[in-house]
Amino acid sequence: MDRNSITGIILIALLVVGYNIIYPPVVEEKTNEQDNTSTTVIVEEMIEEKPTSEVADTNNESMSSEERISKYGAFAMSAYGSDDTIIIENDKLELHISAKGGRITAAILKEYQTSDSLPLNLIDKDSSAFNLKFFSENRMINTEDLYFTSNKHSSQSVSMKLMAEGNRFLEYVYTLKEGDYMMDFHVNSNGLNSLIPSNQNALELDWVLNLPHTEKSLDNERMYSTVYYKYLNDDVDYLSETKNDEEELNGKAQWIGFKHQFFSSVLINNNGFDRSALIKAETHEGSKKFVRELSANITLPYTHKSEESIPLQFYFGPNHYQSLSTYNMDLERMIPLGWGIFRWVNKYAVIPMFNWLDNSITNYGIIILIMTIIIKMVLAPFTLKAYKSQAKMKVLKPEMDKIQEKHKEKDPMKAQQEVMALYKKTGVNPLGGCLPMLLQMPILFAMFRFFPASIELRQKSFLWADDLSSYDSIMSLPFEIPFYGDHVSLFTLLMTVSTILYTRMNSQMSGPQMAQMKWMMYLMPIMFLGFFNNYAAGLSYYYFLANMITFGQQFVMRKFFINENAIIAQIENNKKKPTKKSKFQKRLEEMARKQQEAAKKRGR
């Protein structure tokens, strides 16, 4: 793409945006009316109809004793009952457990709220499932259809029993710990060996969660929500975060986690789930209430003993790096800090520095400012080396331009040889400014992963930004601009403007052969404007600060550390010294000479 092509693309984009502003679509009003009408009809239907669970209850209650026995066999006595809710809690977590199905129907994190200042509940009762299935007397038993009896041991522990005739039962025991998001969960059985066929060696568990929308940006939530899993003595893996995905786990999985952007629900078996498990992650694009639907079909071992117990654990809590690390299960790997060197930078440099500042400073905007200053000071020696290399290139630029102009249309290969000879003669390394910048790239990308994943920034305000983990909006637009959004993020604008200014300052060092690259360098910040407009404000704020500190460093270094006259004198002195060609340079020149001779022969 040349300059004219890029200019044309930008003009076309501006025309499209301008047309949408001047002539907004008129169909939307009709669509809203249709949606309102549809919503009214749906609401009326919901009012007229009973919920599915209530219908099922009525059906079970209306059955005769013979019908219940025919359908549920030994579990007929649990086919009807009262759907009571039992609450257990500690200072961190409040769990609601339903008598129907014996399952958790609400997990409320007491120290957190949604973006709408509502209690933060990780489980929506009507769109979740926790159903244990098994055959009994040639009948499929689904625990979600039956009623458990509760025995509350304390405010933090409860036993839920699914009774069968003959005082036989299936039992769930939930036990919270003080000051912890981790909970013990035991699946016990007593006397079921006489009811479950001898050829059935596993119980099948269906676990489904529709993640509720709890954050400011639904798109960002979906970007970081999926199913994570870990095999025993193996690494952590996960399903796709951007598309529907599923995976069959063939091996002993230690845990399966349903990860939200900042919170997770994890089912743990430290002995490993013995048989295969099928996990899925799906996105329902039209839904504004739910982020993604995550599910797992898991098998639990059953050995036909008269009494059995399967020790499991549940984690309902925040994705906080230090907290998850204390469990020694690699649960902290659910926090997307990047891969390879980027994760190492976050793990061993960024996170410890952030926590150190967090212990003494309460304002997270100030913390990010101090972090940026520290990082830029640590990288200052590399930055100085890059500036010195740029200064040398600036001094050589007039001579390089003369060489390019001399061989502009005659012999480009000859021009390249003369430029390389000039570098060699003056002792200038053309890549001297690139290497120091490359050393800074891991930190740049590590920060890109760190800020959106840091729960510490969630709902923390600074200046006009009310949530540093989400976008900062200073203006809502009455329309949506493609690839940009329906709001204006000021930190993103400041970052973009400062990046363009930084690009302009550095582009003066390059020659005319880099004209197209210059346009690309200007185009990239504009493209990122659309991407970062919906991203974490903390990240845009950091990049903006980094640019501003860089401007200050450039001024100080060029004024006090870089003497252009001394550089010119050094280059002139290097020109007078005899240069010894390396073997590599000799080989390059020999290859270039042979190419020229071959070209001349073809011309004849």
- What is residue 49's predicted lDDT score, i.e. its pLDDT? 36
**Range 271-277 contact pairs with CB under 8 angstroms and sequence separation of 24 or more:** 271/311, 272/231, 272/232, 273/249, 273/298, 273/299, 273/300, 274/202, 274/299, 274/300, 274/301, 275/202, 275/299, 275/301, 276/248, 276/249, 276/250, 276/251, 277/229, 277/248, 277/249, 277/253
- What is residue 444's predicted lDDT score, i.e. its pLDDT? 83
d(CA 226, CA 245): 9
Residue spans of the domains in the chain: they are 3-47, 50-336, 343-471+535-576
DSSP labels, 369-435: HHHHHHHHHHTHHHHHHHHHHHHHHHHHHHHHHHHHHHTSSS-HHHHHHHHHHHHHHHT--TTTTHH
d(CA 132, CA 144): 7
- Tell how many helices (H) and how many strands (E) occur in the chain: 17, 21
Contact 221, 290 (CB under 8 A): no
This prediction has a pTM of 0.76
CA 175 to chain CA centroid, nearest Å: 31
Closest CA to 512 of 387, 404, 392, 399: 404
List pLDDT tens digits, range 502-529: 777 766 544 444 445 566 666 777 877 8
List pLDDT tens digits, range 192-217: 998 999 888 889 999 999 999 999 98
- Cα–Cα–Cα angle for 117, 118, 124, rounded to 5 degrees: 145
3-state secondary structure of 489: strand
Contact 72, 135 (CB under 8 A): no
What sign does the CA torsion over 44, 49, 54, 56 have? negative
More confident residue, 503 or 273: 273
d(CA 331, CA 255): 9
* Domain 50-336 annotated CATH 2.70.98.90: yes
- What is residue 98's predicted lDDT score, i.e. its pLDDT? 95
List pLDDT tens digits, range 160-203: 999 999 899 999 999 999 999 999 999 999 999 989 998 888 89
Mean pLDDT of 241-251: 89
Percent of the chain's residues with pLDDT above 70: 75
- What is residue 280's predicted lDDT score, i.e. its pLDDT? 93
